[in-house]
Structure 1
């Protein structure tokens, strides 16, 4: 394309792959509800002619590729430009200089940039010297390092342990029941925990994606990170448990009510199924046809809302890690890592893991299989007593005797192990949990100072050892590990309180 023709098209507008109208010469390009590219950041770093060519190439990607891919290309170009100030852009010397500044972990930056430069040349825009293309063809570049957080079992960004995951899900349910968490935050957290899906897949859901077949429940997740495929053009069905189904049905009902309120009447029957499960209600325009607005992604919550929700969930639930003794940091990626890690520990292969994580190939799934992190260690009594204060799995209140307990005057509140009483339940509601062991992780439980808690602990640890010996499966044997820590915490607190009483 001639420079004159390029200038003639400079003021044109184009539609992104997601259907967003973008002004070619705009300072910012909004490619989707989540992706916004600050084009002005490079306008002063290139000549007028070079920047025009650059925009045409990036526009090609914006029209044909996923918005996140186009943004990644922009960021890699920006990093290159900022690192080679004073050198002719896209020259041999600038690329050699840039490569020398990259580390082993970041050499993939240049690999991404090389693909962009090759496409630039293939499209016929000016700005890429032939010698640059020859140099890039000769280079062998390392790819993006995959799986560091998984292989290192990083306590801040890697997979959650079983104890951590159980603590998080229990706390989400507890705080939602107490109205400390909004329904949408509980839905985000439990969907991530049980499916490991990406935020864009969760926020891309519509009401019709929740399906039921007899007594089985499914979510049809739209696939993500699929190049050259429009939004919601491919799906993968994921089986879920009834508890998550019921929670999401509450969310669906709330969505219908919210749109009916905005419309001033019921949502048309043929459009109910098209409503977003997680809507961006502020984007709704009462002056426009609802059917038109539902055809794109504008009424769907941005993907970043899931990440923001997990920050809020972590702050609200205040679940401590038994590994670090500090509050667990939550983000969507950790739940994906956890799902993949658990599958690898169960002996699943790369293809099964790739399918479960909705990967198009096995190049990322391999990291789980090649270095399976063993995150279920043997927990004996000494280890449990040491970890208990760190994990803080016990949520109740230790009392000296029944006299000090809430509902202490109600014999029906007593918790027994079948032989003797251990404490009281402070709740007036019905509870179907298996007493007394399940009580130790409940915030309503009030164990007595002189209750036989150590005997309960010994029984749980002996049962763990028995199951491990019979099954040789640590995953199965570890099912009560958080409960063991909770009982251990009670034992430790009782010992500490007795010492205080003895000192007077």
Structure 2
């Protein structure tokens, strides 16, 4: 075990066992710290020139962060100091000269100095040796700007920014289709659905327990544990969010499987006070039958890793290609894109910074201004020319155009016909029951087989006319644009039918 800095305070900490903010024991003198189910890191990777005394002081300071701050923040502080030391190898550690050199290297990224300055001030206030007074005075004098916020939102980047309504519709459609045909597991469906419907952080989702699903006065709520709150431990504070019934029912089914799984592990019925403490997304193989289940449920030990939410999202997109109408390529999805989407949609609806901050579970508005200052436009009017141009990119139509009813799967079955006020438009190839509204829901369904001679252009004209009428009557683009993905799907059918007629004519 490394020798900690020689000072009265550090001597007391030598060999001591601390408790992280997440309830994990760690030895400050150890070279490996595990602070939570998600965060563990080595503390012996700093350059040798840092020396044992500085290293001892630093570990004691870092231990204080581990006790009162999130594990992620503690690890970030270690990484920040290592980045500084690696970039100033020709200078004495923590000297004035080293920081002048480091700041010149950072350029526009000098915001990284802010966390180091904060840590060194804490270092000094705790009474550990190693930080020169000249360095503290220099850092105090510097005006360090904050890091750049909201680039992905400001640019509406199709790779990393907010999703459009059409992209969200395509995502949900793929998710429901995959879950219905068992290509998407219940666990993955829950993860993707919660992300898309609530915009919550992965760490909040993985920390959920069954008791956080709260029915109240005929509505459905999820009490999400708050994160990124200063001096707030794991599941110490909550903020309730109302959710739709579809998400609620999906999570209720997940809760039922969790209860059954744990009762199978324990080999007995679980009492109600234990059931409510079960994690909604558990790691079953982490259960230790030699220990009390009640005690194991007190911490995060049986909860899924935070990164599992991201991994689940990547698995979903790998198996289910969701196409962006902006790029014509598969969507690149990350949990944060759903947060950007929620904030952007609220700003587009005219909501202010405080309401957006509350919806995103922020404690202040310093990160919400980017939404209200950069409100993206919904296309005010989609005419036929625009729709026909965007349709091939969106790939909203999932079926197959057939030459006639006779060529369709189930073509001999009159019940397979898809009706519209303008006449029959195609056949349904599914043998199962479907309660969806035809033909509106059919054009984006993989079972739909539009007929070559169907009145698809009339359907398209009707949809565009309805969109314009709703906008004139309500003045609300969000409501008027609700069928935009459907418009693109019908447009795609019109284009394919026109191309097929040309081929048939030339044969």
Is TM-score (shorter-chain normalized) higher than 0.5? Answer: yes
Shift of 1:25: 2.3
CA-CA distance at 1:16 after TM superposition? 0.4
Query: Residue 404 of structure 2: which of 386, 401, 404 is its match?
Result: 401
1:251 aligns with 2:254: yes
The residue aligned with 1:76 is 80
Query: Within the alignment, does 1:34 sit opposite 2:33 as a pair?
Result: no
Question: Does 2:118 match 1:102?
Answer: no
CA deviation map 1:267-313 (0-9, x unaligned): 23320000000111121111111000000011110110001111111
> Cα deviations across residues 33-60 of structure 1 (Å, max 9, x unaligned)?
1112221221635101111111011001
Alpha-carbon offset, residue 473 of structure 1? 2.1
Give secondary structure in 2 for the equivalent of 1:29: strand
- What is aligned with 1:441? 444
CA distance in 1, matches of 2:65, 2:452: 67
3-state SS of 1:424 partner: strand
For 1:79-90, list aligned pairs within 5 A. 79-90=83-94
Instruction: Pick which of 185-194 and 491-500 moved more.
Output: 491-500
Q: Distance in 1 between matches of 2:344 and 2:267?
A: 48
Quick check: 1:45–1:81 contact (8 Å CA) kept in 2? no
2:220 counterpart of 1:204:
no
**Equivalent in the alignment of 1:240:** 243
Instruction: Call closer, same or farther: CA 1:307–1:169 in 2, change over 3 Å.
Output: same
Offset, 1:419: 4.2
Counterpart for residue 385 of structure 2: 382
Deviation of 1:78 (Å): 1.3
Of residues 227, 231, 238 in structure 1, which corresponds to 2:230?
A: 227
Q: 1:161–1:376: 8 Å Cα contact kept in structure 2?
A: no
Structure 2 residue matching 1:168: 3-state secondary structure: helix
Question: Deviations for 1:49-100, whole angstroms, at most 9, x for unmatched residues?
Answer: 1111110110010011111211221111111111111211111000000000
The separation in 2 between residues aligned to 1:378 and 1:163, in whole angstroms, is 15
2:139 matched to 1:154? no
> What's the CA shift for 1:12?
2.2
Q: Secondary structure at the match of 1:436?
A: coil
Aligned to 1:89, the other structure's residue is in SS state coil
Matched, 1:348 2:348: no
Q: Match for 2:500 among 471, 477, 497?
A: 497
- Cross-structure match for 1:412: 415
SS in 2 for 1:41: coil
| 2:223 alignment partner, SS class | strand
Structure 1 residues 329-384: Cα deviation after superposition (integer angstroms, max 9, x where no partner): 11110000000000000000000000101100011111101121224453221111
Distance 1:365 1:68 in 2: 22
* 1:379-434, Cα deviation, whole Å (9 max, x unpaired): 22111111111111011111111111111111011011134111011122222221
Paired position in structure 2 for 1:181: 184
Mapped partners of 1:34, 1:379: distance in 2: 46
Which structure 1 residue ranges, 5 or more long, are not aligned?
none
Please, which of 426, 429, 432 is the counterpart of residue 429 of structure 2? 426
Separation (CA, whole Å) in 2 of partners of 1:280 and 1:245? 22
Q: Classify 1:313/1:339 alpha carbon distance in 2 versus 1 (closer, same or farther; 3 Å).
A: same
Aligned to 1:324: 327
Aligned to 1:137: 140
1:296 equivalent to 2:299? Answer yes
Q: What is the alpha-carbon distance in structure 2 between the residues aligned to residue 41 and residue 383 of structure 1?
A: 57
Aligned residue-pair number: 503
Q: 1:115 aligns with which of 115, 118, 124?
A: 118
Cα deviation for residue 4 of structure 1 reads: 6.1
Contact 1:160 1:334 in 2 (8 A): yes
| Pair 1:257–1:136, CA change in 2 (3 A) | same
Summarize the alignment of residues 255-334 of structure 1 with structure 2, pairs less than 5 Å apart. 255-334=258-337
- 2:279 partner SS: coil
Matched, 1:47 2:48: no
Who is 2:375 aligned against?
372
Query: Aligned equivalents of 2:182 and 2:266: distance in 1?
Result: 28
Gap runs ≥5 in structure 2: none
**Deviation digits for residues 137-157 of structure 1, max 9, x if unmatched?**
110001121111101001111
Q: Measure how far apart 1:168 and its partner are.
A: 0.3
Distance of 1:305 and 1:435 partners within structure 2: 38
Superposition RMSD in Å: 1.3
Alignment TM-score, normalising by the size of structure 1: 0.97
Specify the SS of the correspondent of 2:430.
coil
Q: 1:45 to 1:370 in 2, by over 3 A?
A: farther
**Pair 1:59-2:66 in alignment:** no
